[in-house]
Amino acid sequence: MIQLLRAAPIVLLVSSLATSTALLANEQNYNQISLRAEAHQEVAHDQMQVTLYSEAQDTDPARLASTVTNALNQALDKARLYPQVSVKLGNRSSYPIYDDKGKKITAWRERAEVRLESTEFSRLSALTGELLKDLKMANMQFSIAAQTRIKSEDQLLKDAISAFQARAKLVSEAFGSTNYKVVNLNLNSNGFAQPPIYARSAKMLSSAMSDEATAVPQIEAGSSQVSIIADGVIEITLP
């Protein structure tokens, strides 16, 4: 009798599992279709970044550090006169220089960066030209400002959903159905392509800007394609 009482819960459990499996099988939906739609647009680069640097060499590392620091401080003082430009210090490094035999340190070389960023190209160009009297240009690049990115994505979200709905309707009608429901929908941005860094152009621009007799060249920022992808599953009702 005791063995029968102990076995009873096991029998009930197996019966319950079998019943649940049958219910799940009956509830499975076979009229589901995966769809993908995309909305995209070209967005003009409205943000400019310039990286300048100070580089020097000296046999005394302490004196070298002081020289580079003074150059950076002077650059920061000038940059503060341009509130439209965001300024921050970048990488800074120093390394020893050895003799021909590679055993004895003959000097030290140090490099430090200043990074400028602004959506007002004319102001940033003017500041860059001023700073290039004492610094050198490492590179410049263009990108899409954060506010512009958010605004573009918000519009593209609507466009991507509309495109998904249009495709869902088209697929439903192709199967002879006039009704569908969205099972799930994922909206993802493909991200903004990283703009190229114009190192060679930066050298040319640096040379032109440092020459007071030469007019500052015009800047063409370009654009990037931005996309929102809608991936989802719909379920159609077959006649």
Give the pLDDT confidence of 66-123 residue by residue, as tens digits. Answer: 999 999 999 999 999 999 999 999 999 999 999 888 889 999 999 999 999 999 999 9
Q: Is residue 3 in a domain?
A: no
| 8 or 171, greater pLDDT | 171
List, for residues 122-132, the tens digit of each pLDDT value: 999 999 999 99
Residue 169 falls within a domain, yes or no? yes
Look up the CATH number of the domain holding residue 232: 3.30.110.170
For the cut 70, the answer to whether the pLDDT of residue 13 exceeds it is: no
Task: Specify whether 104 is located in the same domain as 189.
Answer: no
**Domain-located, residue 55:** yes
Task: Give the whole-angstrom CA distance, residue 104 versus residue 107.
Answer: 9
| Domain's final residue, options 143, 173, 206 | 143
| Cβ pair 78, 33 in contact under 8 A | no
Assigned domain for 205 exists: no
Answer yes or no: are the C-beta atoms of 113 and 68 closer than 8 Å. Answer: no
Lowest mean pLDDT among 144-153, 171-180, 189-198: 189-198
Query: What's the whole-number average pLDDT of the chain?
Result: 82
Region 229-236: what's the mean pLDDT? 95
Instruction: Identify whether 76 is part of a domain.
Output: yes
- Do residue 229 and residue 115 come from a single domain? no
91 and 152 share a domain? no
Q: Are residues 81 and 112 in the same domain?
A: yes
- What confidence category does residue 12 fall into, taking pLDDT thresholds of 50, 70 and 90? very low
Residue 88: name the closest of 142, 55, 51, 126 by CA.
51
176 with 109, same domain: the answer is no
Would strands 32-44 and 86-98 be described as parallel, antiparallel, or unpaired?
unpaired
Q: What would the mean pLDDT of 175-201 be, rounded to a whole number?
A: 73
**91 and 132 inside one domain:** yes
Q: Are strands 180-189 and 105-118 parallel, antiparallel or unpaired?
A: unpaired
Dihedral, CA of residue 119, residue 149, residue 155 and residue 221, to nearest 10: 50
Query: Torsion-angle region of residue 123: left (phi > 0), alpha (psi -120 to 50) or beta?
Result: alpha
Give how many domains the chain has, as a whole number. 2
Say which CATH number the domain at 79 has: 3.30.70.360
Query: Has residue 6 been placed in a domain?
Result: no
Residue 18 counted as domain residue:
no
The two three-digit tokens of residue 186, written as one number: 């994922």
Which of 114, 143, 172 is the endpoint of a domain?
143
CA distances from 27 to 22, 30, 177, 200 (A): 9, 10, 20, 63
Q: What's the predicted TM-score (pTM) here?
A: 0.68
Kindly indicate the confidence band of residue 186, based on its pLDDT and cuts at 50, 70 and 90.
very high
Q: Both 84 and 119 in a single domain?
A: yes
53 is written with which tokens?
Answer: 């640097």
| Per-residue pLDDT tens digits for 206-230 | 555 555 444 455 667 788 889 999 9
Tell me the pairing of strands 136-143 and 105-118.
Answer: unpaired
Collapsing DSSP to helix, strand or coil, 147 comes out as: helix
Give me 196's structure tokens. Answer: 């190229």
CA 185/CA 228 separation, integer angstroms: 12
Question: For residue 7, what pLDDT band results from cuts at 50, 70 and 90?
Answer: very low
Half-sphere exposure of 194 (CA within 13 A, CB side): 3
**In a shared domain, residues 138 and 102:** yes
Q: Please give the span between the terminal C-alpha atoms of the chain, in angstroms, as a whole number.
A: 56
One domain for residues 42 and 123: no
Identify whether 1 is part of a domain: no
Kindly tell me if the per-residue pLDDT of 65 is higher than 50. Answer: yes
Examine the domain organization and report whether 149 and 237 are in the same domain.
yes
Structural domain of 94: 47-143
For the chain, give the percent of residues with pLDDT over 90.
65
